[in-house]
Amino acid sequence: MIKVEHLVKTFGTKRAVDDISFSVEPGEVLGFLGPNGAGKSTTMRVVTGFYPPTSGRVTVGGFDVVEEPIAAKRLIGYLPENAPGYADMTVHGFLSFAAELRGLAGDSKKKAIYKAVETCMLEGVLYQTIDTLSKGYKHRTCLAQSIIHDPGILVLDEPTDGLDPNQKHEVRALIKRMGERKAIIFSTHILEEVEAACSRVIIIDRGKIVANGTPAELKARSELAGAVRISTRSASAAALNEKLTPFAKRTEVLSEGAGGVAMRIYPVAGHSRDAEFAASIVELAQRENWKLDEIHIEEGRLDEVFRSITLPDTIKRAA
């Protein structure tokens, strides 16, 4: 549905997007991650036809966004960053305007507005002007505008920005539900959001793609992934350490006190099967007569992967 090939976008001498390629198919939700200024919004603006690309090619549903912009734009619903809206219009007027530009009229327009209002829960503010709305409602109004024509492709630039936790949850659930049959790209800073809603993640840094995979694949890159956490009251940290050292790359004492010892054991490199590693630790515990209160296989954390990929090397060394 969306195909981006070797996209480059420069502003003056700055390369905001530097040779990016990816594609999104219906049924896929692609999460765009990256630090501020990495080129997420710029990429989305090129895909939606707002910025012409400096070089490279973007096609949407088979239509080139430069050659056939109108046909391409018709297929896309777009929520720009900061969810802009005409301050002096009512929510209903705004949605009606969006529907008209999408070629809807009469009954189908009325139905489309009704459905978008229902999906985005805007019933209460339908006849308020946009400048009187709270940030959350403003965001949802703009989101409603993007889905009013039931597009096959959605491009959402930080769709949960400024929403409260409940609204964030609803919007994520909505994205996930729509992602079952649409092709969706959305950008975010919130890593848990990616895990909750995306089927695939791309991390962009300084205009380049630095990681591309499913959330699980990315998490597996984390140093933490596959580590085993145990806690026990029947041995001291020193004793545990002595016995565990041959098994592990390193061990880390998380806490030690009256409640016993909690320890994290990192597998030696190449020990990829988490369960196997955990089993060998359980076996050891039985042999040594440790009573394990808890044993847990760590999943790896996206924020750690994100930091290790996107932090400039100098800062990484300092940290």
Q: Which residues bind another protein (CB under 8 A)?
A: 9-12, 45, 48-52, 54, 69-71, 73-74, 76, 78, 80-82, 84-89, 93, 97-98, 100-103, 105, 129, 142, 145
252 contacts 267 by C-beta, under 8 angstroms: no
Least separation in angstroms between residue 210's CB and another protein is 23
The distance of closest approach from Cβ of residue 48 to another protein in the complex, given in angstroms and rounded to an integer, is 4
In the complex with another protein, which residue's Cβ is closer, 132 or 245? 132
Please work out, in degrees rounded to the nearest 5, the angle formed at the alpha carbon of residue 129 by the alpha carbons of 125 and 130: 90
When the beta carbons of 105 and 173 are compared against another protein, the nearer one is 105
Nearer to another protein by C-beta: 43 or 145?
A: 145
Burial class of 46 by CB neighbour count within 10 A (0 to 12, 13 to 18, 19+): buried
How near is the Cβ of 138 to another protein at its closest, in Å? 11
**For another protein, the closer CB: 9 or 200:** 9
- Which are the contacts of 137, defined by CB distance < 8 A and separation ≥ 6? 91, 122, 125
Q: Which is nearer to another protein, 10 or 199 (CB)?
A: 10
| Least distance CB 102 / another protein (angstroms) | 7
Nearer to another protein, 69 or 213 (CB): 69
- The DSSP string of the chain is -EEEEEEEEEETTEEEEEEEEEEE-TT-EEEEE--TTSSHHHHHHHHTTSSPPSEEEEEETTEETTTSHHHHHHHEEEE-TT----TTSBHHHHHHHHHHHTT--HHHHHHHHHHHHHHTT-GGGTTSBGGGS-HHHHHHHHHHHHHTT--SEEEEESTTTT--HHHHHHHHHHHHHHTTTSEEEEE-S-HHHHHHH-SEEEEEETTEEEEEE-HHHHHHTSTTTT-EEEEESSS-HHHHHHHHTTTEEEEEEEEEETTEEEEEEEEPTT---HHHHHHHHHHHHHHHT--EEEEEE----HHHHHHHHHS-HHHHHH-
Closest approach of another protein to the CB of residue 114, in Å:
19
CB of 268 to another protein, least distance (A): 50
Least spacing, CB of residue 97 vs another protein, in Å: 5
Question: Which is closer to another protein, CB of 95 or CB of 228?
Answer: 95
Q: How far apart are CA 192 and CA 173, in angstroms?
A: 13
Smaller CB separation from another protein, 45 or 172? 45
Residue 43 CB, shortest distance to another protein, in Å, is 13
